[in-house]
């Protein structure tokens, strides 16, 4: 095993991409790669992964942990099984973070060893899990991530998409992990290589323990872990792909943090346009403003902007349903969020007592865009339910009939 590792160390490339390629190639050509194949562009599965995973049971940080976050990669299946067998709360990130941050694996009552084994697989994650939103109050005691390569100093290289780094940064933002929350990775011995420190960025996650089929390495890594989301490294594209990021950004902006994105450039023309639109919205709301506190949340409240005359007799207006609104949320807070997410409707029908609101948009495209923008949004501790209103077809038909 030592000779294999030495060869890898000698050949380790100058860039992260070089190192990834050499590790993937070596695992394949040396017969160490396991399903799913090829291992390229994945967190690679390898012969001996289950043995490496089982050694986590010998670590105090595992035995003391109540809530463990484990990535869904195949080589970490043994860790997920060990956590379930030890009756620990197991959190697994949602695939590519499309529908939230975590799923909690919930085995059926009285689950046998075989059922727990299924729960630990990718199929089990789909069948036996429930989503945990931003308001889920997760408190993670231990983080287990996959790696393509890692150094004995704890410096880690993933598959290049940045999801593990982003997951950790989001957990920091949520308060789900602390500065001293331990991080473990599971790899084959040949994946332990030299990594130059200058290859690491301030967003890169480091690890405290490395488990291989033959060794347990405590890295004593002193390099700080990411201290939250680095918004200047987040693009609009990433914000679109990961809905929960939008909620975290909104939350941090409300707290006064700088959330300027990587490709967000100040544009005076856009700023002027935004100011004009805000003036228009204020001018259109000519009714005396009452406090939008708890007294108003129990009432039905309809507000239209200056475009409201176009609502009457139109067959194209499309309504969006917003549910799971917390009882203490003010309509002004919802409206602020709608503006922030570029989803301001023509009209808001606020039904606080029923914990819902209906938003009217000028057409289906605008409504669908709003649903996409607001997906995963959390306000007042609740993740909102946002979808096209179910009675849409009936409503459209009624309005078309009015025109006749």
Could you read off the pLDDT of 161-175 as tens digits, one per residue?
777 888 898 888 888
Output the pLDDT for position 77: 96
Statement: residue 330 has pLDDT above 90: no
Going by their DSSP bridges, the two strands 356-361 and 89-93 should be labelled as unpaired
pLDDT at res. 82 = 97
**Which tops the pLDDT comparison, 236 or 104?**
104
Is the backbone peptide bond immediately before 38 cis, with ω within 30 degrees of 0? yes
DSSP 289: P
Distances (CA, A) of 123 to 76, 82, 159, 185: 14, 17, 22, 22
pLDDT of residue 357: 93
Among 81-90, 310-319, 379-388, name the most confident range. Answer: 81-90
Percent of the chain with pLDDT over 90: 43
pLDDT at 97: 66
Cα-based distances in Å from 236 to 249, 292, 373: 12, 32, 12
Residue-wise pLDDT for 265-281, tens only, equals: 555 335 444 444 444 44
pLDDT digits 0-9 by tens, 61-85? 999 999 999 999 999 999 999 999 9
Higher pLDDT, 162 or 213: 213
pLDDT reported for residue 294 = 35
Contact criterion met (CB below 8 Å) for 185 and 211: yes
| Span of 17-26, 115-124, 366-375, 376-385 with lowest mean pLDDT | 376-385
* Residue 261 pLDDT class (50, 70, 90 cuts): confident
* pLDDT confidence of residue 98: 62
Q: Residue 153: pLDDT above 50?
A: yes
**pLDDT-derived band of residue 373, with 50, 70 and 90 as boundaries?**
confident
92 or 294, higher pLDDT: 92
Task: Give the percent of the chain with pLDDT over 70.
Answer: 78
What's the Cα-to-Cα distance from 25 to each of 41, 81, 82, 193, 339, rounded to whole Å? 11, 29, 30, 14, 49
Beta bridge partners of 149: 157
pLDDT at 45: 97
Give the pLDDT score at 6. 38
SS (H, E, C) 92-112: EECHHHCCCCEEEECCCCCCC
Average pLDDT over residues 211-233: 92
d(CA 341, CA 246): 8
CB count in 10 Å sphere of residue 15: 11
- Residue 90's nearest CA partner among 133, 179, 82, 100 is 82
pLDDT of residue 227: 86
Pairing relationship of beta strands 149-150 and 156-157 according to DSSP bridges: antiparallel
Per-residue pLDDT band at 397 (split at 50, 70, 90): very low
| Burial class of residue 13 in the structure, from the number of CB atoms within 10 Å of its CB (0-12 exposed, 13-18 middle, 19+ buried) | middle
Q: Do 108 and 118 touch, CB atoms closer than 8 A?
A: no
Cβ-count burial of 160 within 10 angstroms (0-12 exposed, 13-18 middle, 19+ buried)? exposed
- Name the band, by pLDDT with cuts 50, 70 and 90, for residue 286: very low
Return the pLDDT at 348: 92
pLDDT of residue 145: 96
Give CA separation, 319 vs 2, 168, 184, 300, 322, in Å: 65, 36, 47, 16, 10
Q: Which class for 168: exposed (0-12), middle (13-18), buried (19 or more C-beta within 10 A)?
A: buried
Lowest mean pLDDT among 6-10, 167-171, 342-346, 361-365: 6-10
* Region 6-30 average pLDDT: 78
C-alpha distance across the termini of the chain, in Å: 81
CA distances to 27, 141, 303, 346, 389 from 359, in Å: 54, 40, 10, 7, 9
Q: What pLDDT does residue 314 have?
A: 47
Average pLDDT over residues 34-57: 96
Average pLDDT, the chain: 81
């Amino acid at each position: 095993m030592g000779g294999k590792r030495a060869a890898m160390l000698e050949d380790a490339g100058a860039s992260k991409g070089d190192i990834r390629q050499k590790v993937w190639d070596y695992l394949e050509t040396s017969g160490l790669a396991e399903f799913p194949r090829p291992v390229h562009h994945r967190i690679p599965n390898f012969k001996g992964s289950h043995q490496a995973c089982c050694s986590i049971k010998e670590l105090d940080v595992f035995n003391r942990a109540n809530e463990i976050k484990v990535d869904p990669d195949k080589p970490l299946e043994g860790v997920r099984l060990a956590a379930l067998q030890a009756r620990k709360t197991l959190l697994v990130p949602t695939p590519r973070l499309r529908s939230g941050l975590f799923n909690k694996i919930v085995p059926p009552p009285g689950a046998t060893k075989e059922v727990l084994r299924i729960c630990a697989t990718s199929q089990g994650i789909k069948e036996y899990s429930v989503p945990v939103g931003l308001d889920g109050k997760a408190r993670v005691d231990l983080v287990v991530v996959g790696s393509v390569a890692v150094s004995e100093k704890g410096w880690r290289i993933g598959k290049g998409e940045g999801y593990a780094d982003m997951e950790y940064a989001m957990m920091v933002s949520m308060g789900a992990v602390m500065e001293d929350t331990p991080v473990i990775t599971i790899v084959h011995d040949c994946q332990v290589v030299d990594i130059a420190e200058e290859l690491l960025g301030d967003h890169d996650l480091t690890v405290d323990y490395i488990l291989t089929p033959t060794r347990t390495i405590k890295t004593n890594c002193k390099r700080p872990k990411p201290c939250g989301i680095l918004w200047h490294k987040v693009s609009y594209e990433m914000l679109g792909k990961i809905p929960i990021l939008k909620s975290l950004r909104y939350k941090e902006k409300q707290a006064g943090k700088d959330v300027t994105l990587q490709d967000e450039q100040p544009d005076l023309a856009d700023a002027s346009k935004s100011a004009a639109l805000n003036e228009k919205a204020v001018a259109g709301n000519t009714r005396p403003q009452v406090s939008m506190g708890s007294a108003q949340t129990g009432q039905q409240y309809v507000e239209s902007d200056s475009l409201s005359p176009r609502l009457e007799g139109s067959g194209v207006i499309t309504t969006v349903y917003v549910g799971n609104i917390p009882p203490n949320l003010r309509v002004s807070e919802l409206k602020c969020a709608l503006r922030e997410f570029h989803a301001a409707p023509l009209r808001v029908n606020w039904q606080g007592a029923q914990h819902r609101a209906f938003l009217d948009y000028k057409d289906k495209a605008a409504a669908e865009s709003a649903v996409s923008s607001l997906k995963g949004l959390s306000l007042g501790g609740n993740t909102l339910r946002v979808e096209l209103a179910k009675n849409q077809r009936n409503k459209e038909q009624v309005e078309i009939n009015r025109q006749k």
